[in-house]
A and B are shown apart, each in its own frame.
Chain A
């Protein structure tokens, strides 16, 4: 039975080890080669496991292993929400109620 590291993108341990063998020394390097960390949870489940695998395979100190960069959105956002007229002070209930 394979051992999934990134459950969102179904990337297993062998694929991550292969990526490290091919030269990935950072979480971003593993992400580029395998897609691990690019799913719904944005790496919250697998990032630490990947750091552990890189440390074990390369002998690096986990403190020194570069983690993947963080970009918006840090939470899944529906396209519907992004396309909505939204925003604007007129639509902001919070503002009205704070007055």
Chain B
């Protein structure tokens, strides 16, 4: 029950996984990408907005167009993508257990594994949180941008990070209303440019507020909002009711790291990158030799850095297999690092760069086999 002739298995066909696959395949490795979804591209295909940053990072190009070019690149370079394939375990002998879309059970034995499993959205618990109509902002984005369905005529958004801000804007673009964007902290979490866009459309941004409860019988009919004091305690008497049909939750992401835990990777805890993360070195290799990571599993950032990390992991895994000379690999990796460091600058980027440096410092020379 083994598969001897796949060099590298990449788990996750999002921006990080596809980039890793393309880079490793370009250098001559036999690559198989597995993804549990029925289409590749991860979250890119619901990103209808234009990316910004530098020309190197496809500024001005819409997310789904970046996804299309990544898919074309991966296919052209000969990496195979198996969709609807659920990886449910990686065993201590590094065999990868998979159930395919047509219910075949596989136990694969790759030489290297790249984990690009992404992240899952955080939940919030309040009375009524299980009513239909309470959902994550990512779910709203999937419904609106991919399936062209508005979850409700009127939505309330919780969380003012970039996801909350962008999805609010996209609900408006789709013809829906956003009653308010609610943020517990005293200030907006995401980029000012996104907040300005929704403000111009007349969406109120209520900082220092939270949802006390959701009401409705068999679906969401409204919410009770409450103001918070400077210690995040509800202010008595500040409650007010708002009629909405959907409550969207955008309160951050947690790296999906179960498979890395199974591989015995060493973890570290960095709240601003999403919590518990597998430690890795400058090659994106974890403390478990031959297991690489890229994208949100290494700390929640965004698609541009996920793609660069994927390229690093792909080059490093191909190099470890002897597909590329160390000198050439070093030059390739250096170019990727230069782009990654350029991404991680500015008020938001520098903090991420410092946190990432902490992870790699811990990861250098820490392999166990």
Contact = CB atoms under 8 A, between A and B. Distances in A.
A42 B259 CA distance: 13
Contacts of B256: 44
A4 interface: yes
Contact of A94 (B3, B89, B126, B269): B3
Given A70-B261, A84-B103, A95-B3, A75 B86 contact: yes
Interface in B99-143: 99-100, 103-108, 120, 122-130
Nearest to A77: B88
A77 B99 CA distance: 8
The A interface, classified by DSSP as helix, strand, loop or mixed, is loop
B274 to A, nearest CB: 10
A1 B30 contact: no
A13 to B, nearest CB: 7
B86 A4 contact: no
A87 B123 contact: no
A94 B128 CA distance: 45
Nearest to B36: A75
B127 A3 contact: yes
Contacts of B351: none
A4 B271 CA distance: 24
B5 A95 contact: yes
Interface residues of B, number: 45
A63 to B, nearest CB: 4
A77 B106 CA distance: 13
B258 A74 contact: yes
B341 interface: no
A45 B129 CA distance: 12
Contacts of A87: 1, 104-107
B105 A98 contact: no
Contact of B106 (A5, A63, A86, A99): A86
A3 B125 contact: yes
Nearest to B129: A4
B321 interface: no
Interface string A1-19: 1111101000001000000
Interface string A59-92: 0001100010011111101101110101111011
Interface in B222-275: 254, 256, 258-259, 261-262, 269, 271, 275
B88 A89 contact: no
Given A45-B123, A87-B106, A94-B106, 15 more contacts: A4-B129, A46-B123, A62-B271, A70-B258, A70-B261, A71-B262, A72-B97, A74-B89, A74-B262, A77-B99, A91-B104, A92-B106, A93-B100, A94-B80, A99-B5
